[in-house]
Amino acid sequence: MKKTSSIVTLVIVACVLLTVGFACGNSETAKTTDNKSTSATTSPATSSTAKTESTPKPAPKDLAGNYSATGKNAGGGGNYEANLIVTKRDDVYQFSWDSKGKQYDGVGVQIDDKVAVSFTDGTNGKGCGVQLYKINSDGSLEGKSGYWGKNQGETEKATRTSGSDLEGEYDIEGKNPDGDRYTGKLSVKKDGEGYKFSWTGQSNFDGFGIKQGDSVSVGFGGKQCGFVAYEVKSDGTLDGKWGGQGSTEFGTETAKKK
């Protein structure tokens, strides 16, 4: 009986060991399964977090309104104050200044937070036009233009065929305010603190403008037409530089909505 008891004891011990081993094996399997389950659960989340969606640009601020403008004339010409009224005209804006009875009027176009205006003396800006280009990474220019007295804007793209930076020769194609398509050539040359633009094609004319970051604002229509290149600040303030054809220096202007 003692021998049999020993055998029974051994059998019991073996069974206990087998049971414990089986339980441990199941426990380890459960951990492995849990780990895989956790990995499968968190992987999509990690993947989702890794994906970033581009934030769409906010719509441009409406420029229309009444502004108090202060500025400085180029070349030590002194400071000035003016009342500025900006009126929406479909695709373009009309800009009208009154500085102590001296009046100026012009046309403006907007792309994102940049605004370009062409203006002249008097109560209308007849004959003046403005072009606002965005400078693309490949050196091409793409933008819109406006003409005083026309409420529809014009679109244009200029592809550079030679040159570097902004200077060079370009092939242009666009659509005028009447909806007709056109092609032509554009030459851009540095001139003082600005750039001279010469368009040839269905019509030939020159303009003068200023580069600011990845944009360039150009006024055209003759020497009587000046230009302003504004940046629209987050609070709606217009912060700009202005001049005319052949300017070697630029004036500055800040316009705040009343």
pLDDT tens, 63-75? 999 999 999 998 7
Both 144 and 19 in a single domain?
A: no
Lowest-confidence region among 55-59, 99-103, 106-110, 247-251 = 55-59
In sequence order, what are the beta bridge partners of 111? 114
> Within a domain: residue 71?
yes
Which residue range(s) make up the domain with 35? 1-49
Instruction: Judge if 34 and 142 occupy the same domain.
Output: no
Examine residue 9 and state whether it is found in any structural domain, yes or no: yes
- 112 and 228 housed in the same domain: yes
Same domain, 96 and 224: yes
CA distance 217 to 220: 10
186 CB neighbour count, 10 Å cutoff: 23
Residues 40, 99 share a domain? no
Whether 178 shows a pLDDT value over 50: the answer reads yes
Residue 54 belongs to a domain: no
Judgement on whether residues 199 and 227 belong to the same structural domain of the protein = yes
Instruction: Answer left, alpha or beta for residue 76, where phi above 0 means left and psi between -120 and 50 means alpha.
Output: left
Q: Is residue 58 domain-resident?
A: no
Both 166 and 117 in a single domain?
A: yes
| Residues 121-151 pLDDT 10s | 999 899 999 999 999 999 999 999 999 999 9
Residues 83 and 149 in one domain: yes
Res 245: pLDDT: 79
What's the CA gap between 78 and 169, in Å, rounded? 38
Same domain assignment for residues 44 and 105: no
Calpha distance 170→173 (Å, rounded): 10
Tokens coding 13:
């011990």
Global pTM reads 0.75
Q: Could you tell me if 30 and 78 lie in one domain?
A: no
Flag whether 12 is in a domain. yes
Helix (H) or strand (E) holding 247: none
Do 24 and 149 belong together in one domain? no
Asked if residue 240 belongs to a domain, the reply is: yes
CA 174 to chain centre: 20
Mean pLDDT of 107-127: 95
Please tell me the total count of domains within the chain. 2
135 and 189 together in one domain: yes
Structure tokens given for 135: 């400078």
Which residues is 68 bridged to in the sheet? Answer: 83, 256
**Is 57 within a domain?**
no
Let me know if residue 140 belongs to a domain.
Answer: yes
